[in-house]
């Protein structure tokens, strides 16, 4: 029986894999202009990092993480034994905790240093029920900025995110940017109590999940998609009415910078994002088509307490992540085609087998000179070699037969212009160079 990819995972076949590369390169290019540098962290971390960083009560940590256990440790567990805390590993469900852990571990933001601006791209893992726009392994690109709490860091990250989406081809008209402030450790606890009291008043109208949430994290009730709950939450107290003076000023400054940059946004006081670590600015970009309820293509926020949670010194931070697969769905819905990344500058066609050796040498010579070059490897007829050249989108085809070889030439055909000319074998590379420049 054939074995398929695991449930909730998918292969990026060459066209999409090429687009993923393009996506990452575009991110590196756009974010690089804002000073962000790449970082690569392991796909698995100690489970404790996510418990402390993301929050034990979150769905992500309590239900959705994949645990990674070595075969030896699995045997130990099945035999009723235990394993060391540092051997309890989980596949990363998101990128922020690992990057913040690396910043703390390597002291990338010593006292008085400029902020560390880091970007990553790679797979994340969540053991969720697979559905459209939601997979168990999915690709994300994200950034983290540690060491600065100025509102200009928040604003430039949001601007940079929108610039990236536009650059990668998602039309501005099919996206909406939502922003909110979640307050800080000074003003949020009181607000959280207000929401908890409000949930208790409306207990009979709320679903069970929301009532459980009321105990652990009442703000999560804003994320409930059930109609009854959503209606109740419309009337709930709004965080923006309960911010302390510092948070109100910080939020106003972020919005003023966005206004100044001409970035369109909507304030959404119910936007709380799913993770515990956010403080102050949070934001989310939603695509208007193609994604149904999983319509967030990117988002993030400030997390000024996270570095301490994972054992570092107090270090303000801000980051965002965006989902590759959801962006692909948004691009498809907007009717944008992937740019065709494969190119073939030259196809060398053989009239018969006697010239294959010389053709092979010509192909290598052209590749070494920097041209994407291909030939037939399956003894096809000349006619079907032309079909193959067509399929590869070859810009030029060089025909080599015994007569050409005797003369020391190839017949070089320009596939777009429908012209052909005899070119000396040793001049093919030069001719390609002239034609392409």
The binding site for Zn ion (CB under 5 A) comprises: 183-184, 186-187, 207, 210, 224, 226, 229, 244, 247
Tokens of 86: 């540092």
Instruction: Decide whether 318 or 425 has the Cβ nearer to Zn ion.
Output: 318
The least CB distance from residue 191 to Zn ion, in Å, is: 9
Q: Which residue has the tokens 């149904």?
A: 292
Identify whether the C-beta of residue 264 lies closer than 8 Å to the C-beta of residue 285: no
The least CB distance from residue 101 to Zn ion, in Å, is: 26
Instruction: Decide whether 220 or 326 has the Cβ nearer to Zn ion.
Output: 220
Instruction: Decide whether 221 or 410 has the Cβ nearer to Zn ion.
Output: 221
The least CB distance from residue 184 to Zn ion, in Å, is: 3
Q: At 267, which helix (H) or strand (E)?
A: strand 266-267
The least CB distance from residue 209 to Zn ion, in Å, is: 5
Rounded CA-CA distance 200/189 in Å is: 17
Q: Which residues of 305-330 are buried (b: 16+ CB within 10 A; e: fewer)?
A: bbbebbebeebbbbbbbbbbbbbbbb
Residue 156's SS3 state is: helix
Instruction: Decide whether 150 or 224 has the Cβ nearer to Zn ion.
Output: 224
Rounded CA-CA distance 430/436 in Å is: 10
Instruction: Decide whether 7 or 208 has the Cβ nearer to Zn ion.
Output: 208
CA proximity to 7, closest of 196, 185, 136: 136
Rounded CA-CA distance 195/238 in Å is: 9
Rounded CA-CA distance 339/312 in Å is: 43
Instruction: Decide whether 83 or 207 has the Cβ nearer to Zn ion.
Output: 207
Identify whether the C-beta of residue 271 lies closer than 8 Å to the C-beta of residue 303: no
Instruction: Decide whether 117 or 302 has the Cβ nearer to Zn ion.
Output: 302
């Amino acid at each position: 029986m054939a074995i398929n990819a695991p449930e909730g995972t998918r292969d990026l076949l060459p066209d999409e894999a090429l687009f993923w590369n393009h996506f990452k390169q575009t991110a590196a290019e756009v974010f690089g202009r804002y000073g962000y540098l790449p970082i690569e962290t392991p796909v698995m971390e100690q489970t404790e990092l996510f418990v402390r960083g993301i929050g034990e009560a979150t769905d992500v940590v309590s239900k959705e993480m994949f645990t990674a256990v070595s075969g030896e440790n699995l045997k130990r567990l099945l035999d009723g034994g235990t394993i060391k805390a540092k051997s309890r590993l989980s596949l990363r469900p998101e990128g922020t905790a690992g990057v913040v852990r690396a910043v703390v571990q390597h002291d990338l933001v010593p006292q008085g240093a400029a902020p560390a601006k880091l970007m990553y791209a790679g797979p994340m893992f969540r053991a969720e029920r697979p559905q459209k726009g939601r997979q168990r392994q999915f690709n994300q690109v994200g950034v983290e900025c540690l060491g600065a709490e100025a509102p200009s860091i928040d604003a430039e990250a949001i601007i940079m995110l929108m610039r990236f989406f536009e650059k990668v081809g998602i039309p501005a008209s099919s996206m909406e940017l939502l922003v909110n402030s979640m307050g800080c450790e000074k003003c949020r606890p009181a607000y959280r109590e207000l929401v908890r009291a409000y949930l208790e008043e409306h207990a009979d109208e709320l679903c069970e999940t929301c009532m459980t949430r009321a105990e652990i994290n009442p703000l999560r009730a804003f994320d409930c998609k059930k109609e009854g709950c959503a209606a109740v939450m419309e009337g709930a107290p709004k965080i923006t009415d309960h911010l302390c003076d510092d948070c109100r000023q910080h939020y106003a400054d972020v919005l003023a910078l966005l206004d100044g940059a001409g970035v369109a946004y909507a304030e959404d006081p119910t936007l709380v994002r799913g993770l515990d670590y956010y403080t102050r600015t949070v934001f989310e970009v939603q695509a208007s088509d193609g994604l149904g309820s999983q319509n967030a293509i990117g988002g993030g926020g400030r997390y000024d307490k996270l570095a301490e949670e994972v054992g570092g010194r107090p270090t303000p931070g801000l980051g965002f992540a965006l989902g590759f697969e959801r962006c692909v769905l948004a691009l498809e819905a907007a009717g944008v085609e992937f740019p065709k990344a494969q190119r073939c500058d030259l196809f060398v066609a053989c009239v018969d087998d006697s010239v294959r050796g010389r053709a092979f040498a010509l192909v290598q010579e052209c590749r070494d000179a920097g041209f994407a070059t291909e030939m037939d490897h399956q003894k096809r007829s000349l006619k079907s070699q032309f079909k193959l050249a067509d399929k590869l989108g070859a810009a030029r085809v060089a025909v080599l037969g015994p007569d050409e070889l005797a003369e020391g030439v190839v017949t070089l055909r320009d596939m777009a212009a429908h012209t052909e000319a005899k070119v000396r074998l040793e001049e093919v590379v030069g001719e390609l160079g002239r034609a392409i420049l």
